[in-house]
Amino acid sequence: MSRLNKVTLLGSGVLGGQIAWHSAYKGKTVTVYDIAEDALKHCRDMHDQYAAIYLADVGATEAEIVATSDRLTYTTDLAEAVAQTDLVIEAVPEIPDVKTSVYQEMADLLPEDALVATNSSTFLPSTFADATGRPEKFCALHFGNGIWAMNFAEIMAHATTARSTLIEITEFAIEIGMMPIPVRKEQNGYVVNTWTVALSNAAQTLVTNGVSTPEDVDRSFMKFGFPIGPFGMLDQVGMKTAYDVLSYWGAENADEQMTANASYIKENLLDKGLLGAQTGQGYYTWPDPTFLAPDFLAVPDISKVPEIVSLLMPH
């Protein structure tokens, strides 16, 4: 068993909030830190929603939900958040300068034996190792959205991560019910996001360039037997994260199409306050997106032919 029982989440967004709730559900004492009270309030609201999900889908009892809530605290005071922590999991926005700044601010506040892990979805732990002030106690620990069902954790070391750190982090992942996925060498995007970012970017290209609609892209994907399509996944990941990732890598790789995809998300979703499933509206309306409708993948009635053909004619 690991000694990592007091956990601090830096960032209360989609995944930060999920990791915090799930870790508390699995018996850990969890502090959620964010810079804004509004963000923490939203996190508490999402935790109420997770309580309902865990009761309905995970098999939790009312007593377990009460115990989970009792193990959670929320604060905007970084020093307070990490004063007695065993493990910090960083889940702040996917912007390198923001992550580096948080690590540097936190470095002198941590207990000597505390471990630090990044939940970054695309960046390498070596990018931030020195900023933590404890590179040997630092690695990547990346979770999947919908953590109660997508129960995997990607673990990635950098050159000077201590073996003891990796042992404890892997034990922690298993203790909270995650299937460890060891990433054998540093790779931007790890395992899961290497293919999901490529998939999301390809899907977004079809919409950005007017080739298809989100619904039809998802239909074509779900016909292969997947329960959700790329745009359903984008909504669940959240438009801010999608924009940050596409914007950064579009600029980093001089990829004009990826940059255009990021701009499309900003102009058509972010600027309109449509952040995805967390706010009830992204490409779909939540909690009842149309891709879950029984007829979403049905063969249309033949009366729809003129409507379909009109979409094929030159505009």
Q: What is the DSSP string of 63-115?
A: HHHHHHHHTEEEES-HHHHHTT-SEEEE---S-HHHHHHHHHHHGGGS-TT-E
- 146 contacts 54 by C-beta, under 8 angstroms: no
- The predicted structure's pLDDT at residue 94: 86
Q: What is the pLDDT of residue 47?
A: 97
Bridge partners, residue 156, by sequence:
140, 183
> Coil, strand, or helix at residue 142?
strand
pLDDT for 194-244, tens place per residue? Answer: 999 999 999 999 999 999 999 999 999 999 999 999 999 999 989 998 999
- One digit per residue, the tens of pLDDT, for the chain of length 315 reads 779 999 999 999 989 999 999 999 999 999 999 999 999 999 999 999 999 999 999 999 999 999 999 999 999 999 999 999 999 999 999 889 999 999 999 999 999 999 999 999 889 999 999 999 999 999 999 999 889 999 999 999 999 999 999 999 999 999 999 999 999 999 988 999 899 999 999 999 999 999 999 999 999 999 999 999 999 999 998 999 899 989 999 999 999 999 999 999 999 999 999 999 988 999 999 999 999 999 999 999 999 999 989 988 876
- The whole-number pLDDT of residue 278 equals 82
Torsion of Cα atoms, 121 then 127 then 133 then 136, to 10°: 80
Q: What is the pLDDT of residue 257?
A: 98
Domains and CATH numbers, the chain: 6-183 (3.40.50.720), 192-310 (1.10.1040.10)
77-94 b/e (C-beta count within 10 Å ≥ 16 → b): ebeebbeebbbbbbbbeb
Judge contact between 213 and 66, C-beta under 8 A.
no
**Are 82 and 106 within 8 A, CB to CB?**
yes
Radius of gyration for the chain, computed over Cα atoms and rounded to the nearest angstrom: 20
Q: What pTM value is reported for the model?
A: 0.81
Per-residue model confidence (pLDDT) at position 145: 86
